[in-house]
Amino acid sequence: MTLEGGVRRYLIETWGCQMNQHDSEKMAGILGGLGYEVARDAREADLILLNTCSVREKAESKVFGRLGELRRLKDTRPDLIIGVVGCVAQQAGESIFRRAPYVDLVMGPRNLARIGALIEEARREGRSIGLARDDEPIVFPAGTTARASGPRAYVTVMEGCNKSCTYCIVPFTRGREVFRAPEAILGEVRDLPARGHCEIEFLGQNVNAYHHGEHDLASLLHMADRVPGVRRLRFTTSHPGHLKQRIMDAMRDVPTVCNHLHLPAQSGSDRVLMSMNRGYTRARYISRIEYLRKAVPGIAFSTDLIVGFPGETDDDFQATLSLLREVEYDQIYAFAYSRRPGTVAALLDESPGDEVRRERLQTLLSAQETIQRRHNEALLGRSFEVLVDGQGRLDNGLMKGRTRCNRIVHFPGPSRRGDFVDVRIIRANAHSLIGELFVARGAA
């Protein structure tokens, strides 16, 4: 039975990284193909999927908090199907049914192509579970993605991760690396400009480890650059250990590749990097940044940093602060270390403790704020090509768009989503840039 007029409606709530966001788009595509429509809210939905993240404990506990809220809905509507999918599902498996018996479906990220069958099984049998074993081939659902509107489109080039960073749960939840064939990737890319997507972002946990036959990420970028209608190319997330010369050269030489790189450092201390099993030193990391700064005009860098890794001393933390100041990142994502059961780091000592972690995080964020403010103020008066995303989220009537170097700029219209415009920066603070329209360039 459905809520309204025979149409089944779904709601997907997504936590975590771009890979999770894109997985939700893929599931939405599959559900659309099965005749489902999007629900406006949970009350209107016949199917609610929580697409979860288990990278940090906090993200994981939020899922169970949300499930507690949904329970009330399920009590009033037993036909409602509630699914936990994504990394928490793969990690916690059947135990989710014990903790939240009203959950109908549990599915890991590598089983995504089976979502339709698992929903049917849950309706029929009252419960279904789809968890991947490492020896199972992963199926990339093709041609069914329901992408968020806007000029940017994510395209998966690889799944999984073969690294073993000692703090990280991802290799357990997303499995070993699997690479998509270049023909499949380019087939998807060719389809996107006609659907209003002229900025393509290649996705993978270790996107720059991509290889398939004779192809690597550099050759993918060269090939995608030649696809008519593609105006900008990005890729994430890169591992510093796989940032080969060919990829850096592609960043310099391929016209559509944007001048921004997200390059997670995690720590500025060689001792901690070793204990994290990251496979590079601070000096090697900085050599890549220095090379790209010279090779790619105006390049912006962002990074991920973890503070309070087990055994991190004050000197180690100072080394991370000094890395931040040396590189002068344009943006950082900083996290207090979170212990993940099953990882190697979970067996290490508990020092420096959560209070020190919180303090270090604050110190790092305020150092970054100073850098960002200075960077942004230096942009006053300069103009940038901005690709318009649409209305900004703030209720101030401003449009929002991104520069090639991935800076978000707000500015007054007139312009439409998908337009390229020139915007001159007229106001800057640490976290935002306001501009004015300089020259309208017209639609993509």
Q: Which residues bind ligand SF4 (CB under 6 A)?
A: 161, 163, 165, 168, 170-171, 205-206, 239
Q: Which is nearer to ligand SAM, 74 or 360 (CB)?
A: 360
CA distance 211 to 90: 26
CA distance 215 to 168: 28
CA distance 222 to 176: 26
Residue 348, both tokens: 């290490």
Residue 157, both tokens: 């080039």
Residue 243, both tokens: 């940032």
CA distance 130 to 136: 12
Question: Counting contacts by CB under 6 A, is residue 192 touching ligand SAM?
Answer: no
CA distance 316 to 229: 47
Smallest distance from ligand SF4 to CB 252, Å: 25
Question: Counting contacts by CB under 6 A, is residue 55 touching ligand SAM?
Answer: yes
Smallest distance from ligand SF4 to CB 340, Å: 10
Q: Which does 338 bind (CB under 5 to 8 A by kind): ligand SAM, ligand SF4, none?
A: ligand SAM
Smallest distance from ligand SAM to CB 388, Å: 28
State the virtual CA torsion across 307, 313, 317, 322 in degrees, nearest 10.
-160
Count other Cβ atoms within 10 Å, centred on residue 246.
14
Among 167-175, 215-223, 281-289, 411-419, the segment contacting ligand SAM (CB under 6 A): 167-175
Smallest distance from ligand SAM to CB 415, Å: 33
Q: Which is nearer to ligand SAM, 128 or 173 (CB)?
A: 173
The 3-state DSSP class for residue 348 equals coil
Q: Which does 12 bind (CB under 5 to 8 A by kind): ligand SAM, ligand SF4, none?
A: none
Which of 333, 429, 412, 423 has its CA nearest to residue 378?
429
Question: Counting contacts by CB under 6 A, is residue 335 touching ligand SAM?
Answer: yes
Q: Which is nearer to ligand SF4, 173 or 406 (CB)?
A: 173
What's the burial of 278, exposed, middle or buried (CB within 10 Å: 0-12/13-18/19+)?
buried
Contact 203, 195 (CB under 8 A): no
Q: Which does 17 bind (CB under 5 to 8 A by kind): ligand SF4, ligand SAM, none?
A: ligand SAM
Q: Which does 335 bind (CB under 5 to 8 A by kind): ligand SF4, ligand SAM, none?
A: ligand SAM
Q: Which does 337 bind (CB under 5 to 8 A by kind): ligand SF4, ligand SAM, none?
A: ligand SAM
Residue 136, both tokens: 């199972």
Q: Taking CA 375 as the corner, what is the angle to CA 370 and CA 381, rounded to the nearest 5 degrees?
A: 135
Biggest alpha carbon–alpha carbon distance for the chain: 64
Q: Which is nearer to ligand SF4, 172 or 411 (CB)?
A: 172
Q: Which is nearer to ligand SAM, 15 or 335 (CB)?
A: 335
Give the count of residues interacting with ligand SAM (CB under 6 A). Answer: 18
Q: Beta strand pairing status for 178-179 and 158-159? A: antiparallel
Q: Which is nearer to ligand SAM, 24 or 415 (CB)?
A: 24
CA distance 132 to 135: 8
Question: Counting contacts by CB under 6 A, is residue 264 touching ligand SAM?
Answer: yes
Residues present in the chain in total: 444
Q: Taking CA 146 as the corner, what is the angle to CA 189 and CA 251, rounded to the nearest 5 degrees?
A: 30
Q: Which does 267 bind (CB under 5 to 8 A by kind): ligand SF4, ligand SAM, none?
A: none
Smallest distance from ligand SAM to CB 335, Å: 4
Instruction: Render 141-158 in DSSP notation, one character per residue.
Output: --S---PPSSSEEEEE-E
CA distance 160 to 177: 4
Smallest distance from ligand SF4 to CB 178, Å: 14
Question: Counting contacts by CB under 6 A, is residue 304 touching ligand SAM?
Answer: yes
Smallest distance from ligand SF4 to CB 277, Å: 8
Q: Which is nearer to ligand SF4, 16 or 83 (CB)?
A: 16
> Which member of 10, 15, 154, 167 binds ligand SAM (CB under 6 A)?
167
Residue type, 410: H
Q: Which does 171 bind (CB under 5 to 8 A by kind): ligand SAM, ligand SF4, none?
A: ligand SF4
Residues binding ligand SAM (CB under 6 A): 17, 55-56, 167-168, 170, 205-206, 237, 239, 264, 266, 304, 306, 335, 337-338, 340
